[in-house]
A = this chain, B = another copy of it.
Amino acid sequence: MSSGGESIEKFRSLSPAEFFYRNREIAGFSNPSRALYQTVRELVENSLDACDNHGILPTVRITVFPENTKENHYRVTVSDNGIGIPPRYVPQAFGKVLFGSKYKLRQTRGTFGLGAKMAILYGQITTGKPVEVRTSPKGSQYSYFFKIMIDIEKNEPIVMERRIMKRKSKRHGTTVSVVVEGDWSRARSRILEYIKRTAMGVPYATITIITPEKEAYKYSRVIRKMPPPPREVKPHPRGVDIEMLKAIIASTKSSTLKDMLKNAFQSIGKKSAEILLEEAGIDPNKDPRKLTLDEITALVSSMRKYNKYRPPRTDALSPLGKDIIEAGLKGVLKPEFAYAVTRKPSSYSGHPFIVEVGVAYGGEVPLSPDKGPILYRFANKIPLLYDEGSDVCWKVVSDANFNWRQYNVKLPDRIAVLVHICSTKIPYKGVGKESIADVPEIEREVRNAVKEAARHLRLYLSKKIRAEEEKRKIMTLVKYVPEVARSLSILSKPPASDGNPVDYESIKSVLMKIIERRARKIDGLNIDLRELIIDVG
């Protein structure tokens, strides 16, 4: 076909690895400082997922060592005691972009199957060094060692070395080691802050980092309670879209639409399936494979509008829970009051999510800014450090949008809010995973959770205020008794000394009796008020 024009475009296809290699900034690898931080982060999060998703109390050890000082190359090594990786998957898991274990409906820290590969890709581009992986899968008798590089054009792994070793101990886990060009001096405080906050959100883990200066920072496990590991679940119908329904139809084994809906989705039973199909005007017994595009569109529309589903199943999610959050806040911030809320599950676009909020007040909590409380954001247990201002959580808790005065809090005050959002899919604003997008469903849940926690705070504060108030009133009277008695006593003496003056003690005594009458109405006040008086000199 066509065409003799002098300036015809040339078209070609691009592998995912090549795409991300060319656009590494969008995943946070924009400069040596940021890249080093991002590398640590991606590897640590993979390690934590390999542990707590499988009921293992995590022990993670990070080292950042200089590899080639002249060229600013650093070796980042992260070891965990996780479940390990089946050796047949290792090459692809580390050498093929968009390959991984996280593409399903279950809460994990990493989401894009991209992070670790970006670190490897970046290391390979900047230092030419392969990634080194040593893994000891749980239950296996062997340890496996790999050196892998990525064929960027083909998006395929190149295994440069592979070894198998018989293992003596039962210790399992994975160690990943990459060499990247980095800028430690500028990344240092970022990385240490990240590790500290991570430890705050995962108080059941032990995390150690050893820096190029050979300093070790260790955060030891403070509780042994763990959130239940998440499980994979079927999608929730409220978040269905046309594309998803088409995929389900293509793979279903059900012979009627009704059955298909029941089998493919959570929260749909016989009855609701019938209602949905009636709404869409489709025969419930129709063969799913015979649906027209218009029928699919109608069915999606009715599934999204129906509002009597059971809430999404929480099995896929792993919230921290009230106890862990409150323990974390108390341990780190030492407040006079702490309260946490775990909301019921909800969903957006078919992804279930749970919002958890903790509020810490008073005590040693640092003073907040004027514009809002101190905010600690977590997404699937990951601390979010940057771009706070554009995060939906900040939008909710900032003073401009949340009426803190209504809860007896006048900013700035000693108040901190922790928000944890867990979901099978966190809607990040960018691949850098630093802020969460304004999804209305999430915004509403965060607001309700903050309100609920703030109500408990208000209750605490107003009780405290009332008790103080009553005592203050009594004191107000008692303290003035001596002067009033003295003055009235002096005024009672007529100028031309006839008449009948009243002495100080008598007046004082009458005044005290009047006050005691009043004080008796207050319960819990059992003290001789006279002891409070210090007579006038």
Contact = CB atoms under 8 A, between A and B. Distances in A.
Contact of A2 (B100, B124, B137, B153): B137
Interface in A98-155: 98-101, 103-104, 111-113, 124-128, 137-140, 142, 152-153
Contacts of A427: 25, 30
* Residues of A in contact with B, size category: 35 or more
A299 to B, nearest CB: 11
Contact of A301 (B71, B87, B112): B71
A306 interface: no
Given A83-B7, A438-B30, A19 B430 contact: no
Contact of A296 (B7, B88, B128): B128
Contact of A99 (B13, B54, B101, B438): B13
Nearest to A440: B31
Q: In the A-B complex, list the 10 residue pairs whose CB atoms are closest, starting with the nearest.
A: A9-B101, A5-B139, A430-B430, A5-B138, A128-B242, A14-B98, A2-B86, A3-B140, A30-B437, A128-B297
Contacts of A30: 427, 429, 437-439
B152 A3 contact: no
B428 A4 contact: no
Interface stretch (A89-97, A320-328, A483-491): A89-97
Interface in A1-37: 1-16, 19, 21-23, 25-26, 30-31
A474 interface: no
B126 A242 contact: yes
Nearest to A160: B293
A435 to B, nearest CB: 10
B98 A11 contact: no
A85 interface: yes
Contacts of A92: 11, 13
Contact of A137 (B3, B12, B431): B3
Contacts of A301: 71
A531 interface: no
